Amino acid sequence: MALGLLALFPLAGSDFYNELVTKVMILAIFALSLDLLVGYTGLVSFGHAAFYGIGAYALGLLAPKYDPANLWLTLAAAVACAGLAALIVGVFVVRARGIYFIMVTLAFAQMFYFVFHDTKFGGGSDGISMNFKPVAAIGSFIPFNLSDANHVYYFVFAALVTVFLFLRTLSRSSFGRALQGIRSNEERMRSLGFPVYRYKLASFTLAGALAGLAGYLSAMQFGFVNPELLSWHQSGNVLLMLILGGLGIMYGADVGAFVFVALEELFSSVTTHWQLLLGATIILLVIFLPGGLASVASRFRRLLIGAPSE
């Protein structure tokens, strides 16, 4: 049903809300990719924005200055670049556990941030503006036009549905089961003979590649990239989306992205210091609502039928 509503949305919504919902769907892809790590594999990454940013920069760097880029080629290149970066970082970080993993992923993400921020390689702190939207040409056939906001909307919508279905299939496959096994008890999986290190590395790489896809879409929608895409605020915000929606629940990431953007719009319409409200909300949420918004329903049920709490 939610899918149907999303599919029909551009018919009713104004341009502003169209773009906003497109943004939400891109963030939902980003959050879904992180859910593979946090919710399914049990690896809390605080540096996921690095791969989002790398995907975005891939478009910025590959797009010719005076011609539109080819959508399919640059998209594939962006996903490949982000995946490769995640593979390289993963070799170092997936050995680490728990708190260690959090710190190391943050540090590596910051390294990428400095590479884009301090060197002239990606336009420095100003980033890169793109003059053209990518063209979806297959040979001479052009199925849709990304200069049209509605077409962008449906393209992102299709990407979200694809990623969603892909991850759902993955989570039910033997690979996905193994990841969930690693989350609940890594030692047991190891003694059962699973190559835990390789499974974690594969999960990290895949999550990075999907984050790259989200980053690419964001660069495509807004037409520019800057180092802020890789900043650790971005990594914090996407974790927040995941928590808002609930971990390891596929639709949780989508709900979380939606609630996050709604909060951002709401708070920034009240005050320019909206991050103060956001920060306070996060603190209250953690203290008073462990388990995220997704736990509200079960808490409510417990309250009504008086079942004992866990």
Partner 1 sequence: MDFYSFLIQLLNSIQYGLLLFLVASGLTLIFGIMGIINLAHGSFYMIGAYMAFTLSSLTGSLFAAIVLGIVLSVILGVFLEWALFSHLYKRDHLEQVLLTYGLILVFEELRSLIVGNDVHGVNVPDILNWSLPLTDTLSYPAYRLFMSAVCLVLAVLLYLVIRRTRLGMMIRAGSSNREMVQSLGLNINLVYRLVFALGVALAAFAGMIAAPVSSVYPGMGTQVLIICFVVVVIGGIGSVWGALLAALLIGLADTFGKVLIPQAAGVTVYVLMAAILLWRPEGLFRRI
Binding site for partner 1 (CB under 8 A): 38, 44, 46, 92-93, 95-96, 98-100, 102-104, 106-108, 110-111, 114-115, 117-119, 232, 236, 239-240, 243, 247, 273, 275-276, 278-283, 285-287, 290
Q: Look at residues 240, 197, 212 and name the one whose alpha carbon lies nearest to residue 41.
A: 197
What 3-state DSSP class applies to 225? strand
Residues 6 or more apart whose Cβ sits within 8 Å of residue 291 = 246, 299
Q: How far is the CB of 9 from partner 1 (least distance, A)?
A: 30
CB of 144 or CB of 274, closer to partner 1: 274
Joined together, the tokens standing for residue 220 give 């495509």
Joined together, the tokens standing for residue 307 give 């079942």
| Pairing label, strands 224-225, 128-129 | antiparallel
Q: How far is the CB of 310 from partner 1 (least distance, A)?
A: 14
Joined together, the tokens standing for residue 213 give 């896809």
CB of 1 or CB of 99, closer to partner 1: 99
Q: How far is the CB of 204 from partner 1 (least distance, A)?
A: 15
Q: Look at residues 223, 207, 254, 3 and name the one whose alpha carbon lies nearest to residue 105.
A: 207
Q: Look at residues 144, 133, 141 and name the one whose alpha carbon lies nearest to residue 217.
A: 133
Q: How far is the CB of 193 from partner 1 (least distance, A)?
A: 22
Longest dimension (CA), the chain: 66
CB of 64 or CB of 279, closer to partner 1: 279
CA 280 to chain centre: 23
Q: How far is the CB of 36 from partner 1 (least distance, A)?
A: 15
**What type of residue is 260?**
F
CB of 220 or CB of 294, closer to partner 1: 294
Q: How far is the CB of 44 from partner 1 (least distance, A)?
A: 5
Please, where are the H alpha helices in the chain? 2-12, 15-35, 49-62, 71-93, 98-118, 149-172, 174-184, 186-191, 196-222, 232-245, 250-270, 274-288, 295-305
CB of 106 or CB of 213, closer to partner 1: 106
Neighbouring C-beta atoms of residue 146, cutoff 10 Å: 18
Q: How far is the CB of 214 from partner 1 (least distance, A)?
A: 20
CB of 29 or CB of 239, closer to partner 1: 239
Q: How far is the CB of 243 from partner 1 (least distance, A)?
A: 6
At 276, give phi and psi (nearest 5°): -65, -45
**DSSP per residue over 123-146, as a string?**
TGGG-EE-SS--B--BTTB----T
